Amino acid sequence: SQQGEEDPQALSIQEGENATMNCSYKTSINNLQWYRQNSGRGLVHLILIRSNEREKHSGRLRVTLDTSKKSSSLLITASRAADTASYFCATHFLLGGYNKLIFGAGTRLAVHP
Amino acid sequence: EADIYQTPRYLVIGTGKKITLECSQTMGHDKMYWYQQDPGMELHLIHYSYGVNSTEKGDLSSESTVSRIRTEHFPLTLESARPSHTSQYLCASSETGGWSSGELFFGEGSRLTVL
């Protein structure tokens, strides 16, 4: 199965609420990245957290990484309708001496006004 | 906005046609990638390139081919399209510094429908 798996698959909230998405993975990683994809568009990089970091902030985004549990979470605070999108985690690791970046299936977030 | 461009954005063609999806970036990145994504699903790497005249197959087997004659250009070609090729194709690039220091920059995607 895939390296990165996201939970939940879909999330529906009201504006102003917080949204939390989780990502689990199987192998040791160098870093973990979160991307956003608006419907029918390309992906946009949001934030990268390295394996030796535990928490990172960027504006309304907060990412945590627990390497012992092989999991990460993305928290979007005070959500807005414009945050409606799919959010993907991507894990970076070495395999056979080559760099690999594997994407999960994503969490579809809907923020209602 | 990333300086990476894909054309066409949408393409509807009949079975057996040859198609080329174009991807160009103006950031001077050596590394470029093609991902295939079905609606609501994860991305699968189908091709990548670490520089001019370097191309490799990705994790997902694909009947498409790629070329890298110029740093900024990484086209993907299907010699004979079939309905099973219907999907969204995303092109991306990254800095030469390597994965651990950087991020992927994506184009807007090419949505291919084969009838």
Could you tell me which residues are beta bridge partners of residue B34? B47, B91
A36: nearest Cα among A63, A55, A14, A54: A63
Q: Which residues of chain B have pLDDT under 70?
A: 1-2, 96-102
Residue A1's pLDDT is 44
**Under-70 pLDDT residues of chain A:** 1-3, 96-98
Please judge whether A40 and B104 are an interchain contact, meaning their C-beta atoms are less than 8 angstroms apart: no
pLDDT at B87: 96
For residue B42, give the chain A residue with the closest CA.
A105
Dihedral sign (CA A96, A25, A39, A63)? negative
Contact A41 B100 (CB under 8 A): no
Contact (Cβ atoms closer than 8 angstroms) between residue A5 and residue A23: yes
Percent of chain A with pLDDT strictly greater than 90: 75
Burial B3-30 (b: 16+ CB within 10 A, else e): ebebeeeebebeeeeebebebbbeeebb
Q: Do A42 and B108 touch (CB under 8 A)?
A: yes
Geometric angle at alpha carbon B97, from B26 and A67, rounded to 5°: 125
pLDDT at position B39: 83
Which chain A residues are Cβ-neighbours of B98 within 8 angstroms?
99
The reported pLDDT for the residue numbered B95 is 80
